C-alpha cells in the first residue's frame, strides 16, 4: 500500500487489514510509524518500507520485500502529490513515473488471482497541453522517454511560474482567466 498513511490509503488499510497483512510504503517514516501505530491498535498486521515511488530501485526493493513475505494478492497505489504545493517535475516523477514504476516492479510478483489498483491524479490537467507534451507521451516506450518528459516538465514549470498557474480557457473572452481545477 503506497500512501497508506494518508486519508484514503489508511481507510483502505483498515478494511483490507481485516483479512490481509499490509506493507505500508511511503517517503515519510514519521507518518508511516503513526499509521502503523493506528493499524496496530486495530489488530492489523503491518510492515513498513520507506519508499520513494519515483525511484525505480526503491520500488523494486519494495516489490521484492512484499514477495518475500508471501503471496502478493493486493497492490494498492494511492501515493500522489498536488500541484498546489508541488512543482511540475515532481508531479511527473511521483504521479506518472511512480505509477509506471509500481506496475513494472509488482506485475511480475503479483499472484495469478491478485489485483493491482492505481489511483491516479488529475494534476497533469493543470499543466499547459502542448504538442511537445503529446509527442513526449507518444514515445512512452522509447529509452529516452523519462528524459524527454522531464525536459518538458522543466519548460512547463517555468511557464507555470511565469503565469501564476493560470491559463486561458479555450473559447473564453480575452479578459477571463481560469485557474487550475481543484
- Which one has a higher pLDDT value, 171 or 124? 124
* 102 has pLDDT over 80: yes
> Average pLDDT for residues 139-147, to the nearest whole number?
76
Distant-in-sequence, close-in-space partners of 38: CB < 8 Å, separation ≥ 6: 10
Contacts 24+ apart (CB under 8 A), 99-105: 99/53, 101/53, 101/54, 101/55, 101/56, 101/59, 101/60, 102/2, 102/53, 102/59, 102/75, 102/77, 104/56, 104/59, 105/56, 105/59, 105/60, 105/62, 105/63
Please, which pLDDT band fits residue 127 given cuts at 50, 70 and 90?
Answer: low
Q: Which three cell numbers stand for residue 83?
A: 500541484
Amino acid 177: pLDDT: 32
Give the dihedral of Cα atoms 120, 26, 1, 180; nearest 10 deg.
-20
Instruction: Report helix, strand and coil shares of the chain as percent, to nearest 5.
Output: 50, 15, 35
Amino acid 124: pLDDT: 62
At residue 60, the 3 state secondary structure works out as helix
Distance CA 66, CA 69 (A): 5
Distance CA 43, CA 160 (A): 46
- Which one has a higher pLDDT value, 24 or 150? 24
Distances (CA, A) of 46 to 14, 38, 66, 118: 10, 10, 11, 20
* 149 has pLDDT over 60: yes
Distant-in-sequence, close-in-space partners of 73: CB < 8 Å, separation ≥ 6: 20, 110, 111, 113, 114, 115
Amino acid at each position: 500500500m503506497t500512501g497508506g498513511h494518508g486519508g484514503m490509503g489508511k481507510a483502505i488499510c483498515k478494511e483490507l487489514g481485516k483479512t490481509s497483512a499490509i506493507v505500508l510504503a511511503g517517503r515519510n517514516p514519521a507518518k508511516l510509524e503513526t499509521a502503523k501505530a493506528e493499524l496496530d491498535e486495530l489488530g492489523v498486521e503491518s510492515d513498513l518500507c520507506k519508499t520513494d515511488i519515483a525511484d525505480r530501485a526503491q520500488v523494486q526493493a519494495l516489490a521484492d520485500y512484499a514477495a518475500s513475505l508471501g503471496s502478493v494478492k493486493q497492490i494498492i497505489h494511492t501515493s500522489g502529490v498536488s500541484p498546489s504545493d508541488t512543482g511540475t517535475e515532481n508531479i511527473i516523477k511521483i504521479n506518472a513515473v511512480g505509477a509506471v514504476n509500481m506496475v513494472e516492479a509488482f506485475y511480475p510478483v503479483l499472484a495469478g488471482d491478485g489485483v493491482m489498483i492505481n489511483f491516479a491524479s488529475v494534476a497533469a490537467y493543470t499543466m499547459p497541453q502542448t504538442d511537445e507534451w503529446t509527442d513526449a507521451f507518444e514515445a512512452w516506450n522509447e529509452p529516452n522517454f523519462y528524459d524527454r518528459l522531464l525536459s518538458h516538465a522543466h519548460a512547463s514549470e517555468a511557464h507555470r511560474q511565469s503565469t501564476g498557474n493560470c491559463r486561458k480557457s479555450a473559447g473564453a473572452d480575452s479578459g477571463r482567466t481560469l485557474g487550475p481545477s481543484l
